[in-house]
Structure 1
């Protein structure tokens, strides 16, 4: 059994057995139910990581384990240890308590309100108190007593405090003393490894001078943690800092280039942000990456019979009261980005972060186009990005980000328009954004609800469609040989077969394989036909979800193939170039998501080229694609029903 999952360990909040999550900044281990509350508080309150299924820097995990084993939880529950608290009726949660309201209220009081933390005597000048605490922290970090430093930080000591007499920060002191776990704790609370002391030296310099090479390397990693994590999120790789490579800029293998004025303006606006505003945006995107990745781990580790509950939903970044309302609104909008859009924003931030750090001038639009074309050419010819450094430096895209509402809207439309060309979407489209399709809890809940409720909705629509067909039927109808008393299922099967024989050729090459002139299509197909195809898609998605829940990864490919066939058959019901923008948009989302689904499922095959397959990440991507397919299919049912009823 893993050292960190000993049977003697209990949840810090409810004392439940075998906690599987950690709150990094609180130094505690917590159970699944309590973690669901922590996740809703936001990273500014609690930074959660799964103990087994989240990648950990070894010394960061060691830091949390040390705090937990040395009673860090007593910092947050100080007053509850007083016997008087029992008399007053105050107590901590227990495993039998309901998540809402019992555990949630206790956890919010404990970490958000700090209701049980030991309070210092009141003083008139709070700044003096903070300064005193920071000075104590400055001297304490030279020792290995982590819990003392955590207590000081919890009371208001500043991790970046610059000691006026000593001329340095606590991180300088910890680095000089070789205290790597203290450095980890300080970094969690915001200490900057790049800060210079009065002599112009950084903590990295002191670690190297003292021969603390592991600490020096870790401090460099911490310095680039934001950009490293964004890059790893997209392509599963990190820069080689030891050899002086500090940035990886993943590429989007997109066959269409958005060179619109709106896209250029959005990118220019990103580049023209002040360093302060750019850093804020980058930190917000980092938090959104953390939310998406944590949701994905949550999905992969939970009991799916209890997954769809209100306790698991973290649909967007929780409000941070220290930020302006405008910034909080912008942070929440990040959750609306689909995988393609969010990957584009991440790539643009990585590109501009490197440009700002290296002091490079803004590249011209012409240069961007040349770099994009070079990147696409390299990827289609099978050239690895490892071959030379310039591939990482390419500006990946001129696509829009969410920097302003108009450009954002244009980008979203562009993204959908480019996802379906006259031929199939290439497998390479998301080759360099392997981890971008991450499922959030809100999306998972929606998907499960769609799959649970769509059948009922479709049956209702079938009955309506059947009645409408009977009312509108004439002897000259294409379907005049269908008995009027046939039930809707039989009726749908008959029409499905006829539609397939004339429009869908079944060769697996995609929806555009159908020849429009062989079967002239009306502006809208019958509602019933669309419903029947949607039922097929939904049934196959349910099968895929069950395979994911039961870890039957070898079922991914056959399930994705059945979904692909159902999707292409549904797409073939519609004209090749629909007049309706809504239909066109939904069809593009439907078919491009089906192609991506197949691409992701193929990664489960042994011998797949590239880095070793992380089946957990593949599963996250598969579920995201399934969600997009279900959403698009439902949109098409709604649009078709509305149009045919008009």
Structure 2
């Protein structure tokens, strides 16, 4: 995108100049603030990419630029263009509006509820309307009128519509006509490049026969987009599809044959899932990869000196109302996996995708995907994690299902949680049992939270009574170096860490979190300027580390991690030794423990005598994850101190 062109661009939602993000499926460009809201909507509403920091397929970027320049935004703001809407008080957000509630409410109405899209006249037969729209789409994709096709898709036309008379889909037509941007738009909306027409030919076949070889190659890439994205996330490489290589399956650095029985059982259950359930799990993991990668780009592109304290944090996958509550909870739990655990799951999915494509299927008993997620999470952990409790019941509870459309309820039989036992039961019986179990889980979670609150109060009283005695047993370290000690709650800030039995705490020392309760007054927090200055120092060192990773200079990992550790220590020293605020303590724990883990991961880059060389791709991935956690914690501390100092 040229500099000259970008200077004339405005955010589609609030008209801020020079937007740096794009919503791929909406065909619009958006600013940083509005992008934070788009991300919280979920990929099913808006698929966001950074214009320069995210790798783009060139033809997909061209498709978005064409839509934006041809007024695609008017599709999503159709009724706002009517003078009557101005008279009624309806208007779009402007640059001076606050992000919350003004901009965020407008964006949700615009893209989630499609409140301003042109509505077709009501007809008794909705399926007939959708069929008519799909036929119009089928005939329109042979032309270059891209915004017309986006408008039809916004009204309900189906990208995979099979024309009964023509015997093919819109993508067959676009591929044969060499309409590259139309093909990109259709695939963004779910068109299948491998779907056969009535003659058994795919869109890829038609593109090759018509001499559109670059389009055919791109459609092959789209066909393997899911597994390509997972492989690229782990090792930074994609298969060479032109040479017939369609899968890359990275190996773990510490892969061994002595897997636990739980791990073996999880692997077997993953392999025995039906293709449908396996595809759903793989798509959920794809969405989590997208969330993590976009999160990293988001953090790297934010100006720490220009504070936007209201931007929406996306700590786990947003709820998709088309999915069951159990699947939504499973999707959200993916955010709890650390880099090693998540890499394990991704590798298992890549391995099984390759096996399934080669036709080596295992008989499929009825299994619960949740067991697989839990098992993978503990495969490489010495400490047990409390994975049995639903983390985000308030976000994705079964009560949400009452608000779903009837059409989505009918699809429940195909959801991730559709099969729980081998005994035959009716779907009605299953749903009754599932709803009862979920209600019980919610009650248990509520009681546990209440119990935790009482326990905290009791502990506070006990600690105050023995304050002097406990002070004599305080550990030397201000902040614990707990592994995986932070989890994200709905507000995006760190939740109280669980006590571990993994040996991080020196024998005979008191528990830092218990001692925190002794503090009677919260000393003054550091100035925002000091925190920003230290954050920028940390960021500079992280950028140096990332450059070393990009250039495969692995011998630079340790000195870079040492400099980051020093910068983190200096930043932590700015804060009171025992801050009263739970959010400050949580962010400091994440900051210091991530720096400790980073040093540990960087040491793995050195070959050990008598041991096989480390898998540098996996080591690099984990180093990047630790660096990201440090930057995230620093950003949280900037935001917290800004709020405190301005109150």
TM range (shorter): 0.5 to 0.7
Secondary structure of 1:22's counterpart equals: strand
Q: Which residue of 1 aligns with 2:134?
A: 134
Alignment of 1:422-437 (within 5 A): none
Structure-1 residue corresponding to 2:537 = 547
Pair 308,29 (structure 1): closer, same or farther in 2 beyond 3 Å: closer
Cα pair 1:5 1:20 within 8 Å, conserved: no
How far is 1:317 from its partner? Answer: 0.8
Correspondence 1:622 to 2:627:
yes
Unaligned runs of 5+ in 1: 364-400, 420-460, 473-487, 494-520, 533-538, 568-585, 603-608, 632-646
Q: Which residue of 1 aligns with 2:578?
A: none
Question: How far apart are residue 600 of structure 1 and its match?
Answer: 9.0
* Distance in 2 (alpha carbons) for counterparts of 1:63 and 1:234: 28
SS in 1 for 2:205: helix
**How far off is 1:263 after superposition?**
1.2
Cα deviations by residue, 1:261-302 (Å, 9 ceiling, x for unpaired): 211111111111111111111111111111111111000001
The structural deviation recorded for 1:260 is 2.1
Q: What secondary structure sits across from 2:382 in the alignment?
A: helix
Contact kept, 8 Å, 1:593 with 1:629, in 2: the verdict is no
Indicate conservation of the 8 Å contact 1:49/1:294, yes or no: yes
1:404 aligns with 2:355: no
The Cα shift of 1:2 comes to 2.9
The residue correspondences of 1:34-53 to structure 2 (distance < 5 A) are 34-53=34-53
Tell me the secondary structure at the aligned position of residue 524 of structure 1.
coil
* Aligned residue number for residue 239 of structure 1: 239
Secondary structure at the counterpart of residue 319 of structure 1:
coil
Structure 2 distance, partners of 1:97, 1:566, is 36
Q: Is the 8 A contact 2:541 2:563 kept in 1?
A: no
Residue 239 and residue 105 in structure 1: after superposition, are their counterparts in 2 closer, same or farther (change >3 A)? same
Alpha carbons of structure 1 residues 309 and 197: separation in structure 2 relative to 1, 3 Å: same
Show the 5 A alignment for 1:284-295. 284-295=284-295
Partner of 1:182: 182
Specify which of 493, 508, 518 is matched with residue 524 of structure 1.
508
- State how far apart, in whole Å, the 2-side matches of 1:611 and 1:255 are: 13
Work out which of the residue numbers 362, 366, 380 in structure 2 matches 1:415. 380
Change (3 A) 1:122 1:402: closer
Residues 162 and 168, structure 1, Cα contact 8 Å, conserved in 2: yes
User: Are the equivalent residues in 2 in contact too, given 1:12–1:73 (CA < 8 A)?
Assistant: yes
Q: Which residue of 2 aligns with 1:561?
A: 562
Aligned length: 478
Question: For 1:44 and 1:131, how far apart are their aligned partners in 2?
Answer: 22
Contact 2:263 2:379 in 1 (8 A): no
1:593 aligns with 2:628: no
**Residues 553-576 of structure 1, C-alpha deviation per residue, up to 9 Å, x if partnerless?**
448754622677999xxxxxxxxx
Q: Which runs of 5+ in 2 are unaligned?
A: 385-461, 478-504, 517-525, 546-556, 569-589, 607-613, 637-647
Partner of 2:91: 91
Secondary structure of residue in 2 paired with 1:417: coil
In 1, Cα distance between equivalents of 2:262 and 2:126: 49
**CA positional deviation for 1:192:** 0.1
Shift of 1:105: 0.7
Deviations 1:344-385 (A, max 9, x none): 11111111111111112569xxxxxxxxxxxxxxxxxxxxxx
Q: Deviations over 1:43-71 (max 9, x none)?
A: 11000000000000000000000000000
| Conserved 8 A contact 1:548-1:619 | no
| Structure exhibiting the larger radius of gyration computed from Cα positions | 1
Q: Which has the larger displacement, 53-62 or 558-567?
A: 558-567
- RMSD over aligned Cα atoms: 4.3
Spell out, residue by residue over 1:383-438, the C-alpha distance to the aligned partner (whole angstroms, 9 max, x if none).
xxxxxxxxxxxxxxxxxx99334x6555544423299xxxxxxxxxxxxxxxxxxx
Corresponding residue number in structure 2 for 1:30: 30
Deviation at 1:522, TM superposition (A): 8.0
Alpha-carbon distance change, 280 to 469 in structure 1, aligned in 2, over 3 angstroms: closer
Q: Is the 8 A contact 2:304 2:532 kept in 1?
A: no
Distance in 2 of aligned mates of 1:293 and 1:591? 20
Whole-angstrom CA distance in 2 between matches of 1:413 and 1:56: 35
Q: CA 1:52/1:618 → structure 2, altered by over 3 Å: closer, same or farther?
A: farther
Aligned pairs (5 A) from 1:461-540: 467-468=468-469, 523-525=507-509
Q: Once the 2 structures are TM-superposed, how far is the Cα of residue 547 of structure 1 from its aligned partner?
A: 3.1
In the TM superposition, residue 333 of structure 1 has moved relative to its aligned partner by 1.1
- Alignment check: 8 A CA contact 2:141 2:149 kept: yes
Report if the CA contact (8 A) 2:22-2:51 is conserved. yes
Is 1:303 paired with 2:303? yes
- Residue in structure 2 matched with residue 266 of structure 1 by the alignment: 266
> Following the alignment from structure 2 to structure 1, what is the Cα–Cα distance between the partners of residues 347 and 78?
45
1:331 matched to 2:335:
no
Q: Which moved more, 1:410-419 or 1:280-289?
A: 410-419
Whole-angstrom distance in 1 between the partners of 2:472 and 2:620:
52
Larger mean Cα displacement after TM superposition, 550-559 or 9-18: 550-559
Q: Scaled by the length of structure 2, what TM-score is found?
A: 0.66
Secondary structure of the residue aligned to 1:354 is helix
C-alpha spacing 1:97/1:213, structure 2 compared with 1 (3 Å): same
Q: Give 1:161 shift.
A: 0.2
TM-score w.r.t. the length of structure 1 is 0.66
On the 8 A contact 2:304/2:635 being kept in 1, the answer is: no
Q: CA deviation at 1:193?
A: 0.1
Moved over 6 A (4+): 461-466, 469-472, 541-544, 562-567, 589-592, 609-618, 625-631
CA contact (8 A) 2:54 2:297 kept: yes
Decide whether aligned partners of structure 1 residues 148 and 522 sit closer, same or farther in structure 2, where only a CA change above 3 A counts. closer
